[in-house]
A and B are shown apart, each in its own frame.
Chain A
Amino acid sequence: MSVLIDRNTKVLVQGMGKTGRFHTDKAIAYGTQMVGAVHPSRAGQVEVFTGETDPSGVPNRPPMYDVEVPIFRSVAEAVAGTQATATVVYVPPPFAADAIMEAADAGVELIVAVTEGVPVSDMVLAKRYLEGRNVRLVGPNCPGVITPQQCKIGIMPGYIHTPGKIGVVSRSGTLTYEAVHQLTLNGLGQTTAIGIGGDPVNGTNFVDCLTMFNDDPETNGVLMIGEIGGNAEEEAAEWITANMTKPVAGFIAGTTAPPGKRMGHAGAIISGGMGTAEAKIAVLTEAGVVMAPTPTDMGSAMLKAMQR
């Protein structure tokens, strides 16, 4: 088991530009079932992907792949034609929210929005549109979701992951790679790693992921990586205290960030004394989360949490 995605997940791609094409190729090399693409003016064409199989991906595949991905003019037609249940959005920022809403309307169950720079006001509307629909949005501005050796949706390098026991959830991209790499090196491995993204308005938060990992029989512990800004970590701490039955380790980036400055991520800002790393570390520690003092110690903090 894993959460959100596994080897049977069929995935669409929205936004087949340079970035979309590049990562679709990497996903196919990893063994992800990329079954269709959406492009309003290129419907009826096929996009061909060939290359060497990624040895770190789905096992027992031929050494080379040659895959044709059909292009549809709408998500609804792509779903009807492929039975896809997931989609990945690489559509440029001005059109990303529309792409998300289109996918939700077409009945896609999982939308992974990688696009960085989507206007917050667009996401406020898109999230409102998603209310009451049976859909989960991950992102935007996120690396994506991966279940090692089964399915990779997004831009993370596949080979640093290894199947294992830990659920990973993070607001950051490269810091997630750092964490996953440490879990691979110390043998714990990952069930599923979810990048929830660095934007102030996102589809899936820490509590959503903690809930899924808590319910997943194969996940034995969770590593959560937060950062300054907002109160998602504080809400997570509250949820952990009330509900979590599995060990949790964590790291919060931004202890040294000056107030009032946006640290790269749109959501990473300390405003009016709220959202500091110190406050987040304090409430998570209080909730029993083993906090890594430095990013190099994330893997060992997880080991420590598992041994408690």
Chain B
Amino acid sequence: MKIHEYQAKALMAAGGIPVPAGTVARTVDEAVAAVRPLIESSGNPVVVVKSQIHAGGRGKGHFVEHPDVSGVNVVLDGIEGGIPAAEAKVREYATAMLGSTLVTIQTGPEGKVVSRLYIEGGIDIATELYLSVLLDRSTSHNIIMASTEGGTEIEVVADETPEKILRTEIDPAFGLLDFQARNIAYGLGFEGDAFRNGVRFMKAITELAMDLDTDLLEINPLVVTTDGQVMALDGKMAFEANALFRHPELVELRDETEEDPAEAEAKEYGLSFISLDGTIGCMVNGAGLAMATMDIINYVGGEPANFLDVGGGAEKDQIVEAFKLITADPKVKGIFVNIFGGIMRCDIIAEGVVAAVKEVGLEVPLVVRLEGTNVELGKQIIDESGLNVVSAEDMKDGATKIVELAR
């Protein structure tokens, strides 16, 4: 589960991690009202207006409606014109940004509508760095990745100058040890106050990541200010869905407008669903088989419209719901049901499919491939239903048939 930057920063601040002062705004007036207190409390006349969406690359992104406005805008007007000039400029930006569609390299060409802004106080930056806490799958330990190349995407750094990435493994039994925190601070070139603050920062950020069960905690850039403070200038946090049961406070931070409505609805019914761009709807049991079904549709010349795993123990209701999700997509020109019954019996699937077709109707071709437990009974239920269903011998046969029928 992803959260917004302003939410991540609030969590960091609560964990003792320095972040710039800021206020979230959902309207133009709220954005303007945030300016005066920020400037008065810090004495710094610069403010920044940042789009809050669940995607990165905002600074280099642009609005569809206002191609000259970036996703993140630094307002310098307060330096000469004082607070009223800063307020006027923030009003101008907020008016353009709120309700408009921001396209970044991570949003895809369709972009995301911005409905929240974060108005942040300016800070005097000496250096920009990179820091993240994430799982290293080959060691099954969390690691801290740090780099002097702040502001650049870490994938680019890893590709072009891998020697500039410091990796520090965190032993889950001990957490980040003091000497490890010092070594990271040395590696990032911290000196004096920045060194002491940096060591404290590393310890606190590791503890926060462990406490909150983050999937990813990324700070890019991490900055050292001209007065030696170490601060998170950006903050990206994602939480592990399986651990959310012990963090009800984090569940509150969920922004459903950032999620695909079909995927969210599927989740309610215990289905795993992902929308794709093709024309063949898929209903499969098991994640691996569901992925392989998409692959084989592609292999025989078609394009999958979705990934849909009904799970190992789906009941009739879930099958009906899965069917509704697939048929609700206007791009779908054919449906392929591919089931290898293990624990899930083929007759249950067949009953679900028949009930779904009767309830939802069927306007596109349907190919069903059943194998495994109670397969004969399942086939019999489909045959006797009188529905216009094409049976398939195996996965490849089924994929070939549905791709042809959907042409």
Hey, which bits of chain A sit against chain B, CB under 8 A?
Answer: 93-94, 117-125, 127-128, 143, 155-157, 160, 170-178, 181, 198, 200-201, 225, 227-228, 230-232, 235, 251, 253-258, 260-261, 263-268, 272-273, 277, 293-297
Known: A124-B140, A230-B137, A296-B296. A177 touches B213 (CB 8 A): no
CB distance from B242 to the nearest CB of A (A): 5
Contact A295 B242 (CB under 8 A): no
Residue in B135, B292, B371, B372 whose CB lies within 8 Å of A120: B135
B339, closest chain A residue (CB): A174
A contact residues around B254 at 8 Å (CB): none
Give residues 50-87 of B contacting A (CB, 8 Å): none
Please report the C-alpha to C-alpha distance between residue A260 and residue B106 in the assembled complex, in whole angstroms: 10
Please report the C-alpha to C-alpha distance between residue A266 and residue B244 in the assembled complex, in whole angstroms: 14
Interchain residue pairs with CB less than 8 A apart (21) = A93-B242, A118-B242, A119-B213, A121-B240, A124-B135, A124-B141, A125-B172, A172-B292, A177-B372, A178-B292, A178-B371, A201-B137, A225-B288, A232-B137, A253-B289, A254-B291, A256-B291, A256-B304, A263-B290, A263-B307, A294-B299
Hey, which bits of chain B sit against chain A, CB under 8 A?
Answer: 106, 135, 137-138, 140-142, 154-155, 158, 171-173, 210, 213, 215, 240-243, 245-246, 272, 274, 276, 284-299, 304, 307, 309, 312, 340-343, 371-373, 394-397
Residue in B137, B243, B286, B289 whose CB lies within 8 Å of A200: B137
Contact B372 A128 (CB under 8 A): no
B contact residues around A124 at 8 Å (CB): 135, 140-142, 172
Q: Main SS of the interface on chain B? A: mixed
A contact residues around B215 at 8 Å (CB): 120
B contact residues around A155 at 8 Å (CB): 312, 342-343
Known: A124-B141, A160-B372. A174 touches B291 (CB 8 A): no
Please report the C-alpha to C-alpha distance between residue A273 and residue B312 in the assembled complex, in whole angstroms: 30
CB distance from B110 to the nearest CB of A (A): 14
Can you name 6 extra interface pairs (CB under 8 A) apart from A268-B291, A296-B394?
A117-B242, A120-B213, A121-B240, A172-B286, A172-B289, A253-B291
Residue in B158, B292, B343 whose CB lies within 8 Å of A295: B292
Contact A293 B299 (CB under 8 A): yes
Contact B295 A255 (CB under 8 A): yes
CB distance from B2 to the nearest CB of A (A): 11
What 10 pairs across the A-B complex have the smallest Cβ distances? A172-B288, A264-B287, A174-B286, A175-B288, A119-B243, A174-B289, A296-B396, A253-B291, A295-B292, A253-B292
Please report the C-alpha to C-alpha distance between residue A94 and residue B240 in the assembled complex, in whole angstroms: 13
